Amino acid sequence: MTASVRIPTVLRPAMGGDATVAVEGETIGEILGRLTTRHPAVKAQLLNDDGSLHRFLNVYVNDDDVRYLGGLEAPVANGDEITLLPAVAGGSL
């Protein structure tokens, strides 16, 4: 399965500068694993030491937050769009 991963501005310098990269994997865990293998410097920004998702990283499969779809086990289908976004304070509050 090949998914398209959108990289947020804050992570681009450590990930080659591209806004979007193609990554293969059956689950979100596999996708993030491949990304950190390609860009070891970014590993601490994506995953905690125990391998769980960084608390300030939100990962979406086709706009759905994976924390509510099984977390790192959430399945990925061919052509899915995965978005990485930092957790920040919202807008018009």
Partner 1 sequence: MTRYASVLDLIGTTPIVDVSALSPKPNVTILAKLEGRNPAGSVKDRVALSLVEAAERDGVLIVGKPDQVLIEPSSGNTGIALAMVCRLRGYHLKVVLPSNVSPERRQLLLAWGAEIIDSPGTQGSNGAVRLAQRLSAEHPEWVFLYQYANPANPMVHYTTTGPEILADVPEITHFVAGLGTSGTLMGVGRYLKERRPDVQLWAIEPPSGEMVDGLRSLDDGFIPPIFTDNHGAQLLDRKVVVRPRESIEWTRRLTEVGLFVGLSSGAIMSGAVKCANTIGDDDEATIVTIVCDDGWKYLSTGAWSDDIDDVIERSKKIIYF
- Interface residues with partner 1 (CB under 8 A) are 8-11, 45, 54-58, 60, 63-65, 67-68, 83, 85-93
Q: Are the beta carbons of 31 and 81 closer than 8 angstroms?
A: no
Please say which residue, 24 or 88, places its beta carbon nearer to partner 1.
88
Kindly state the smallest distance separating residue 51's Cβ from partner 1, in Å. 16
Please say which residue, 38 or 56, places its beta carbon nearer to partner 1.
56
Please say which residue, 39 or 54, places its beta carbon nearer to partner 1.
54
- 78: which 2 tokens? 């061919």
71: left (phi over 0), alpha (psi -120 to 50) or beta: left
Q: Are the beta carbons of 7 and 15 closer than 8 angstroms?
A: yes
